[in-house]
Amino acid sequence: MVKPAKTLLAEPSLLHLKIEGVITGESEFLDHLIKYRGEDNIKGILIEVNSPGGVVGPSQEMLAEIKRVRTEFKKPVVVSCGALAASGAYYAAVGADKIIVNPGTLMGSIGVIMQFANLEKLYEWAKMDFTSITTGKFKDSGSPYRPMTGDERQYFQDLIDQVHSQFKTAVMEGREMRQDELEPYADGRIFNGKWAVENGFADELGTLYDARKILGKMAGIEDEEPILFEPKKSPENIMEWVNQNAQALVNPAEKVISEYFRPELTGQPLYLMPGVLSH
């Protein structure tokens, strides 16, 4: 675990971090949060969100580490939602002390989605045949080489229902909301920021600038415009770039498939706004 810096800042400041794009297993947000939250002159965490959500596990890890800032480091956390704070991004946001939104912010999408591709006819057209040898009837569930069975469909439904329950519990705890207040809106629907404030899913209408001032007061910083500490982005290693893009350079079609169909996100439960995998 990275040890927190202790002499980085000369003045009381707010750590400014961003959750952007689809949430996957790699997270510079978490790296910076863990590295800098223990710094003596970091008095609070301002998180700017513009994301449709993503993979379940990393979203849950974000929530856990945001809550840890408040419980173990005793520092306030404020989330400022821009255009989008949906599904896994909202899941993470409910760990904050306050959620500030714009009236037209699209947010919520409290639900779970799993998507599968049945490519059986494509393989038939290509005269390709696949055989799976497994140790149990569910081991190759979701295989793209054949239709899904009824048992498999129920198996996946049970799985995402369990993960959905975890999502709802996180919202109820973070927003101090009763189950009967949450349940009618936990069906995956998107709602706007103004509605979210009126119904307890967010705290106040405001901009990033407003969120900064609110957090400054919560952190005990007297300055009207608290200093923001912006961690430097990690420079991309040239070899990592080559490894990630070599196949696309050789096969442009694979690059198109990767960008538009997101195969790395299929076949797993996601806290992701519907439509992201199909645009």
Mean pLDDT for all residues in the chain: 85
CA distances from 41 to 33, 208, 213 (A): 14, 21, 17
Domains in the chain: boundaries: 13-278
Return the axis-axis angle of helices 150-175 and 56-71, rounded to nearest 10°: 20
Q: Do residues 47 and 81 touch, judged by C-beta distance below 8 A?
A: no
Sign of CA dihedral 209, 212, 214, 217: negative
Q: What is the pLDDT of residues 30-74, one digit of tens each?
A: 999 999 999 999 999 999 999 999 999 999 999 999 999 999 999
Which residue among 59, 87, 109, 143 is the active-site one? 87
Q: Could you report the per-residue pLDDT of 70-124, keeping only the tens digit for each?
A: 999 999 999 999 999 999 999 999 999 999 999 999 999 999 988 877 777 776 7
Q: Which amino acid appears at position 190 of this protein?
A: I
Q: Which CATH number fits domain 13-278: 3.40.50.620, 3.90.226.10, 3.50.50.60, 1.20.1090.10?
A: 3.90.226.10
Angle CA 131–137–143, to nearest 5: 50
Q: 87 catalytic, yes or no?
A: yes
One of 139, 165, 217, 258 is an active-site residue; which one?
A: 139
186-218 burial, b at 16+ Cβ within 10 Å, e below that, comes to bebeebbbebbbebebbbebbebeebbbbbbeb
pLDDT at position 277: 57
pLDDT given at position 149: 87
Q: 195-221: per-residue pLDDT in tens?
A: 999 999 999 999 999 999 999 999 999
Whether residue 139 lies in the annotated active site: yes
Q: How far apart are CA 17 and CA 7, in angstroms?
A: 19
What is the dihedral sign for C-alpha 218, 220, 224, 225?
negative
